[in-house]
Structures are given as C-alpha cells and as structure tokens.
Amino acid sequence: MDVLDIARWQFGITTVYHFLMVPLTIGLGLLVAVMHTMWVRTGRPEWLRMTRFWGKVYLVNFVLGVATGLVQEFQFGLAWSEYSRFVGDVFGSLLALEALLAFFLESTFLGLWIFGWGRIPKKLHLAALWAAVVGSIVSAYFIIAANSWMQHPVGVAVGADGRPVQVDFLAVLTNNTALAAFSHAIVAALMVAGALLVGVGLWHLRRRKLAAAPDTDVDHAVWRRSVRLGGFVSLAAFVLVAATGDWQGKLMYHQQPLKMSSAEALCETEAPAPLSVFAWAKLGSNECDDVHSWTVPGLLSFLAHWDFSSPVPGVEELQEEYAAVYGETYPDDPSFGDRAGQEIDYTPVLAATYWSFRLMIGMGGVSAGVAAYALWATRRGRVPTSRIGVHGSLLAVGAPFVANAAGWVFTEMGRQPFVVYPNPDVPVDEQVWFFTAQAVSPGISAAEVWTSLVSLGLLYGALAVVELFLLTRLVRRGVTTGDATATPPAVGSSRRDDDQRPDDDRADDDVLSFAY
Amino acid sequence: MDLQTLWFAAVAVLWTGFLLLEGFDFGVAALLPVLGRRGRQGTADRHLMLRTIGPVWDGNEVWLITAAGAVFAAFPGWYATWLPALYLPFVVVLLGLIVRAVAFEWRHQSHDPRWDATWTRVITGGSLVAAAGVGAALGATTLGLPIDGDGTRVGGAFAGLGWSSVLGAAAVVAYSLVHGALFLALKTDGPLRLRARAFALRWSPVGALPLLAWAGLVHLRSGTLVTGVLWLVAALAVVVTWTRVRLDREGQAFAGWATVLLASAATLFGAAYPVVVPSTVSPAFDVTITEASVSDYTLTVMTWVAAVGLPVVLAYQAWTYWVFRRRLTAEPGHETVAA
C-alpha cells in the first residue's frame, strides 16, 4: 500500500473509532441532563440515582471521546497537508470556532459539574451540565458543517491559485447539507443513548425480578424509568432519523447522485427506478454490470423525488458524465504521485456503499424494534422475564452504534474519488473540487504512516478493552453499590445542597468514584 | 495593524495560554512520583495532587486544540508545513495526550491500589511525553525546519528533529516542573505544600534556563529592542520568583513564574515575527504570515467571532478557577479557604 492508502485506512479507523464515543456522549449527555433536571424539579430519589449512575457511564465514555478527538484535529495537517492547504480558507476556521465556542464550554462546565456536587447551588450545578451538553451539540454542528462543506462546497469562489476563497460565511454555516446531516446525527445519537438505557434497564429489572427483589423500592424505579425513558426516546428518535435521513437522501440525489445510485446498485438510468433489497456481485469486481439485485419497482423514484415514476440516473451514465466534465484521467502532475495520468473511477466501491447503507438502515430498524418491545413488555408496571427478549435487548445496545458507523462509512466512501465534491448548483468553471489522490502530505513516507497507524491502532484497541471492561462492570454493579450518597433528601425538604455530600468516608468514596 | 499580524498575535496568545495553563497540570502530573511520599501516605499525596488539577486539566487542554485550530484557521500554510515535517513527534504527543486523558478519568474506577498506581504512572508518563513533544515542535517552528520551497520536508522521518527541538522540549518540561510545584504550593495545605515550596525554591533558578536560552537564541537571530527588553523582564522575573518563594509568598511566586513564561513567549513570538516556519535549507524558503495566511474575509469573520467569544470563554474559565479556589488537604472534608 502507498502513503495514500495507509493514510486513508488511518483516517477511517481513527474516525469510526472516535465516532463510537461521540453519539453516546451527545445522546447520553442530553438524557443525563434531563434526569438531573427532573431531580431538581421533583426531588424524587430515582432521578438522582439515575443522574449519578448514567452520569458515571457518560463520563467514562466522554473522556475516551475527548482523547481520540485530539487525533482528528491534528491528522488533517499531519497526513493530509495538501488537503489542508487547499481548503484552508474555509475548513480551518470551522475547526477553530468549534474549539473556541464548543470545546471550552464542554470541558470547563463538565469539570464544574463533576466537582461541583454540593459545592455550588443546585440550579447552577444543573446549568453547568446543560452548558456542557450544549457544548457537545454545538461542536457537532461545527464539525458537521465542515464535513458538509466537503460534500457540498458553498459560499466560496475560485481563487487565483485555483483554491476556494470564502465569500459567504453564513452560507457555509447554513449549508442545507449541513442542516440535514446535523439533525440526522443528533437524533441518531439519541437512538444510541436510548438503546443503552433500554438494554441495561431491562437486564436489571429482569435480574431483580428473578431474585425476588421488591418492585417498590428506589432501585426498581431507577431501572423502570430508564427503560421507559430510553424506549420513548429511541422510538421518537427513530421516526426523526427516518425523516432526516429521507431529507438527506433527497439532497444527495441532487448533490452526489453517484453516491446514492451506488448505494442502490442502479446501473442504468431507469424511470420508474426500482429499490434494491438484496444484491450480489462477482467478487472483487467494481463493475456495475456484475451486480445482480432483487428489487421493488418504483420505490427508488419515490425516495428520490416523491413520486413513483421519475427517472433516477444510473451509475454508468453518471460515470460518463463525470468523466466528461472532471477528466477521464488524473492530471499528469507530481502532486498525484503514482496516480498521475491514471484513469479516474468516479464510482465509489459498490459493495461498501450498498451494504453500509443497508447496515445503517437495518440496525436502526433493529433498535427501533427493541425499543417498541421494551415499551410493550414494561407496560403498566410489567417486568419481562423472557431470556431472549431481555438478553436480546442488551445485545441490541450495539445496533445503533453499528448504524452510526455504517452511516459515516457510507457518507465518506460514497463521495470518493473526491475529498471535496463539486457543487452541481454552480457552473463548472466556478466549481471547486479536490481529489483524494492529491490530498495526502507529499513529504511523509509510508513507514511513518505505518508507524502511526499501527501505534494508534494498538493503543485504540487496548483502550477499547479497558473501556468495555469498565462500562460492563459499572453497568453490572448497578446503582446501589458504592453509591451511598444516593440516599436523597425527602421531597420538599429544607436540607441544604451541601448535605448531598456529607463528610463521611463512604460519601467521599462515592465522590471519588464520580471524580477523585 | 493588519489582520495577519493580529492573528499571529492571537495564535501566540493561544500557545502561551496553553503553556501557562496546561503547563502546571503537566508539572503536577510529572511531580507525582517526586513529591508524593513512599507507601500509603504517598497514595494520599498523589490523590491530593491530582485533585488540584482534576476540575481544570480538560479545560486547559482545550487551549492546545484552539491554538492548533487557530494555526489551521488563520495560517493553513503554517499548519500544513509544520505538522507533516514533524509527523512522528506529533504522533507521539498525541499518544501521550490520549493515555493521559483517559487515565485521569479511569484511575478512580477501581479501588485496587495497583490499578490506581498504574494509571497514576500513566498520567505522569503521558504528561511528560506530551510536554516534551509540544516543546520540541515549538522549538523547531521557531528555530527552523528542513523544508524546501514547497514547504515539504527534506530528509527522512527524523530530519525535523535537531538541537532546536531538544532545547524546546527541555524548556517546556523544566518550566512546567517548577510551575507545577508552585501551583501545588498555592493550592494545597499541609506537608505537601511545604515540599512543593522546597522543590520550587531549589529548582526555579535552573528550571527557567532552557526557556531563557531558547527565547534568547531567537532574539539574537531576529529580535528587536523590544524583544530584548522582554527577555530581560523574563530573566528578572526568575529572580523575583525565587525571592518570593524564599519569603513563602506563594501567590506572588506563582505570578512571578507566570511572568517568566509570558515574557519569554512574547520574546519568542515577537522575534520570530513575521516568519512562522524558518527553513534551515535556505532563508528564501522561510514561510511567513503573508504567504501562509487565509483571505482577509475569513480573517475578518474569525476576528469578529473571537472578539465576542474569547472574552466569554476567559470569563467562565476564570470563574471556575474561582469556584475551586480553596486550598485542598489530604483529609477529606477539611478544606481551608485560600489565604
């Protein structure tokens, strides 16, 4: 493999890994803030225990997201310096603003929340958590605006040296691609958090019922409320995921038609166009003609254009159109390295786009199904004891993670061979575009990138083991063990906030397990 | 002042802010095995030390992200030259920062002493590696990198590393050690406060030497009268710090030591201006702020956002320091108000 391929693997691995933590941080952060708010408003003990318990899970996960996020900012410069030079006028400012407006908010107020139990007034303490959560969401907005600008560059003109020059910052921030992708990512993050609450909550409810534990105590209320909250959030988020996904899909049919047609393995332009349900191809071939598909007639036209008869362009026509405009071959220029002068394949890897798209939707559906089951099985105070149902729900905690990862693999692999995709809304001579093949840093050697890929890979693997170990242990232990301070003040009590952190050893132990 | 100069100053402020804030948490982390006693008491010492930086280290680290982000945002030509030229050193910095960050949150997830001791060592090691790496990178970008006319590194993977990066690394590590000790003297009470003060008294004259040497070198190469004066201020602040530690005035000592960094960094960046990456191959290949910069439009937009956003950030970050202003002691629940 050459530097370009290794650097692409590195970017893919580190980014997908980072994005395992991100949706849980965003989704669970929001839900913990809701729990904390409910406790402040109602004073009910289960909300405090839920805040504490899910707050710990949130923090263990948050820090790995922060740590792996560092790599993201630096690797644009390290491995993709030509890309960084090319997009500098737009892309860098979005990263800097993300740090200034979001990361400071997130990190500073999270520190205040962790160490603020009993030290600052109750409502201010709650506001600190909300500030941190808002920080996470703002950060998601900026980074998705940056990514969406690569997918659909707006607000720029072509500069003297061929690089994009920013002319309209607001257009970059209100890029329709960004608005759709951001709302899709946020609701997808809520599905991740909802699935976790459901899976863990059901498992504890069942275990307690089999152990004949009372169903009137606070712990029971904790798990029951977790399941109900998680279930409702998951289902509502699934509806929104579908709606925002449809919005994104329709934009994509216009902005990146090759991505969507590859996702459907639609070779020829068809009207009405059928939706593929299952496809198989000759191994190792990226020729569309080698793909065979089971299809539902007309459905793809509907998804793309809201009617059952409109034409949808096929991969082969699009390939020719793109080749006519953007060149049959890469320019014979040293910046393209070994690929200079070679033929350009405008079709993304069909198997990757086709299956990542289906994996995303399928896993989202699994998650919604589990949420519906959980709500049904816990209706009117019931507790399910079905081993398959409960353990299946616990296993399905992974489904929305897979869906999120698959969605990004689809988005990023589907826009190849471009790293900055030409915007079809502007005339060709005013378009900016950049091939992935010319984006990599010219001065670095394959050995260097191998070294970083292997060392980051090994470290990430080890950290994944520790994170899973910690989360599993935390989740198995549940709410009571080591959480003595969760004994709450009575509703309407006049006890001061400081009393939530009494100065005995066990209480300190709990603060320790929360922070230090 | 043109926008490029303004943003050069902004980037300088962000890197300096990072070194000033993260500097003491790097220092505290590096001093864990030094200032903690042996045995059971040592564990309590180390917990106390970690509690002083617990609420703030993550916020401090965001200064690094913002500083690097601002380099990318305002001077992509600098960012795209500097980072790949020092590819492996930057990767090592990242590895250090990653393990350090997770260790902060994960070490208290189990009460097994070995677990705790392991992660505590990881915090120390990761912090030292990160401090040295950032110092090496800054040393190289102020004293020179082997780059050609396209900003591409000439030579192999380690061509970017030389005496200048060793000097930068030594400067940041040595400064941070004393900085961390002074922070502990200011933030704790009891025996640890005394040990931290003794450490600062002994090492503060030495701890600033690499930093002063580095700033002095850059000044001698391309400095002005102003940077010369700033350098003298930095040197003088070392003396002031030492006398303040001797008189047990921790607050003043901390302020003095902060002045050492502020004046040294002002010397460094002031003397380097307007070059952001000097080339050791030929001065004709030096990258300057003009050629590395983005358009005036983008700089204007960022100036407006930063003018509104940065004061707000500074205000709430300062406020959290105020919230956690109490001195900490090893005994839980007996915190004394800061003097």
Residues A79-128 have pLDDT tens digits of 999 999 999 999 999 999 999 999 999 989 998 898 888 888 999 999 99
For A166, which of B61, B74, B295 is closest by C-beta distance? B295
Which residue did the predictor score with more confidence, B321 or B8? B8
Q: Do B69 and A99 touch (CB under 8 A)?
A: yes
pLDDT score of A5: 92
- Torsion-angle region of residue B331: left (phi > 0), alpha (psi -120 to 50) or beta? beta
Q: What is the mean pLDDT of residues B107-121?
A: 85
Dihedral (CA of B140, A104, A98, A15) sign:
positive
Cα–Cα distance, A319 to A288 (Å, whole number): 11
Query: Using the beta-carbon criterion (under 8 Å), do B317 and A73 form an inter-chain contact?
Result: no
Residues above pLDDT 70, as percent of chain A: 92
Tell whether A96 is within 8 A of chain B (Cβ): yes
**Is the CB of A92 less than 8 angstroms away from the CB of B79?**
yes
Compare A270 and B287 and report the one with higher pLDDT: B287
Q: How confident is the model over A339-358, as pLDDT tens digits?
A: 888 888 888 888 888 889 98
User: CB distance A448–B88 less than 8 Å?
Assistant: yes
Of A67, A92, A103, which is closest to B73 when you measure between CB atoms? A92
* Size of chain B in residues: 339
Q: What is the pLDDT of residues B241-283, one digit of tens each?
A: 999 999 989 999 999 999 999 999 999 999 998 999 898 888 8
In this predicted model, what pLDDT tens digit does every residue of A376-401 receive, in sequence order?
Answer: 999 988 888 888 988 999 999 999 99
Q: Which of A211, A237, A232, A236 is nearest to A478 (CA)?
A: A211
Percent of chain A residues past pLDDT 90, beyond the cut:
54
Cis amide bond preceding A334, omega within 30? no
Residues 77-106, chain B, touching A (beta carbon < 8 A): 77, 79-85, 87-88, 90-91, 94-95, 97-99, 101-102, 104-106
CB-closest option in A93, A116, A456 to B298? A93
Whether A463 contacts chain B with CB within 8 A: yes
Mutating which of A17, A97, A440 best tests the B interface, going by the most B Cβ atoms within 10 A? A97
Residue type for position B133? G
Q: How confident is the model at residue A284 (pLDDT cuts 50, 70, 90)?
A: low
Alpha-carbon distance A148 to nearest alpha carbon in chain B (angstroms):
17
pLDDT surpassing 50 at residue A481: no
> Residues A221-244: what's their mean pLDDT?
94
Cβ distance of A111 and B56 shorter than 8 Å: yes
Count how many pairs of residues, chain A against chain B, have C-beta atoms within 8 Å: 230
According to the model, what pLDDT value does residue A201 have? 94
Of the listed ranges A260-269, B112-121, B239-248, the least confidently predicted one is A260-269
Give B281→chain A minimum CA distance, Å.
15
Q: What is the pLDDT of residues B199-218, one digit of tens each?
A: 999 999 999 999 999 999 99
CB nearest B47 (choices: A100, A104, A516): A516
Percent of chain B at pLDDT above 70? 97
Distance CA(B130)–CA(B124), nearest Å, equals: 10
pLDDT confidence of residue A161: 84
Query: Greatest CA separation found in chain B?
Result: 62
Structure tokens at B160: 């970017």
Contact A96 B66 (CB under 8 A): yes
Contacts with B99 from chain A: Cβ below 8 Å: 67, 459
Predicted local distance difference test score (pLDDT) of residue B339: 30
pLDDT range class, residue A427, cuts 50, 70, 90:
very high
Q: Is the pLDDT of residue A482 over 50?
A: no
Nearest Cβ partner for A73 among B69, B98, B104 = B69
Q: Which of A61, A62, A66 to mutate to test the interface with B (most CBs of B within 10 A)?
A: A66
List the one residue out of A12, A10, A19, A114 whose CA is nearest residue A68.
A19
- pLDDT grade, residue B335 (50/70/90)? very low
Residue in A442, A449, A459 closest to B98 by CB: A459
Per residue in B20-65, pLDDT tens? 999 999 999 999 999 988 777 888 888 889 989 988 888 899 899 9
Computed over every residue of chain A, the mean pLDDT equals 86
Q: Where is average pLDDT lowest: A7-11, A366-370, B335-339?
A: B335-339
- Mean pLDDT within A227-233: 96
Instruction: Name which of A91, A97, A508 is nearest B332 (Cβ-Cβ).
Output: A508
H helices of chain B, in order, are 3-35, 39-53, 57-74, 76-85, 87-106, 113-143, 163-187, 191-207, 209-222, 225-246, 250-272, 289-292, 296-323
**Chain A residue nearest residue B96, CA to CA:** A67
- Mutate one of B11, B47, B53, B58 to test the A interface: name it (highest A CB count within 10 A): B58
Where residue B334 falls among pLDDT bands split at 50, 70, 90?
Answer: very low
Query: What pLDDT, on the 0 to 100 scale, is given for residue B12?
Result: 95
- Write down the residue that tokens 């005994």 correspond to: B331
User: Closest Cα of chain A to B131: distance in Å?
Assistant: 15
pLDDT reading at A487 higher than 90: no
Interface contact flag, B54 A60, Cβ < 8 Å: no
Please report which helix (H) or strand (E) contains residue A510, including its range.
Answer: helix A505-514
Q: What is the pLDDT of residue B332?
A: 53
pLDDT digits (tens, 9 = 90+) for B161-188: 889 999 999 999 999 999 999 999 999 9
Residues in chain A within 8 Å Cβ distance of B74? 92, 96
What pLDDT sits at residue A485?
Answer: 45
User: What's the pLDDT band for B331 if we cut at 50, 70, 90?
Assistant: low
- Contact yes or no for A470 and B106 at CB 8 A: yes
Least CB–CB distance from B109: residue in A95, A449, A470: A470
Q: Region A230-238: what's the mean pLDDT?
A: 96
Greatest mean pLDDT range, A211-215, A286-290, A429-433: A429-433
Query: Which among A85, A94, A448 is the nearest to B80, CB-wise?
Result: A85
Domain boundaries, chain B: 19-221+276-323
pLDDT in tens, B77-88: 999 999 999 999
Q: What is the pLDDT of residue A505?
A: 33
Structure tokens of A466? Answer: 């520790």
pLDDT of A491 higher than 90: no
Among A135-144, A259-268, A297-306, top mean pLDDT goes to: A135-144
Which residues of chain B are within 8 Å of residue A98 when distances are taken between CB atoms? 69
User: Among A59-63, A132-136, A205-209, which range has the highest average pLDDT?
Assistant: A132-136
- Residues of chain A positioned with their CB less than 8 A from the CB of B18: none
| A101-104: Cβ within 8 A, 24+ apart | A101/A138, A101/A142, A101/B305, A101/B309, A102/A135, A102/A136, A102/A138, A102/A139, A102/A141, A102/A142, A103/A135, A103/A139, A103/B62, A103/B65, A103/B66, A104/A135, A104/B59, A104/B62, A104/B66, A104/B313, A104/B316, A104/B317
CB contact under 8 A, A101 and B324: no
Which residues 120-139 in chain A show a CB within 8 A of chain B? 120
Where residue A332 falls among pLDDT bands split at 50, 70, 90?
A: confident
Q: Give the integer Cα–Cα distance in Å for B311 and B64.
A: 17
- List, in sequence order, the alpha helices (H) in B188-288: 191-207, 209-222, 225-246, 250-272
Question: Tokens 């609701």, residue?
Answer: A187
Chain A residues closer than 8 Å to B157 by CB: 444-445, 447-448
How many angstroms from the chain centroid is the CA of residue A111?
A: 24
Contact B68 A74 (CB under 8 A): yes
Structure tokens at A349: 């890897």
Residues B57-77 have a mean pLDDT of 92
C-beta separation of B222 from B172 below 8 A: no
The pLDDT value given to residue B149 = 86
Task: Inform me whether the C-beta atom of residue A459 falls under 8 Å from chain B C-beta atoms.
Answer: yes
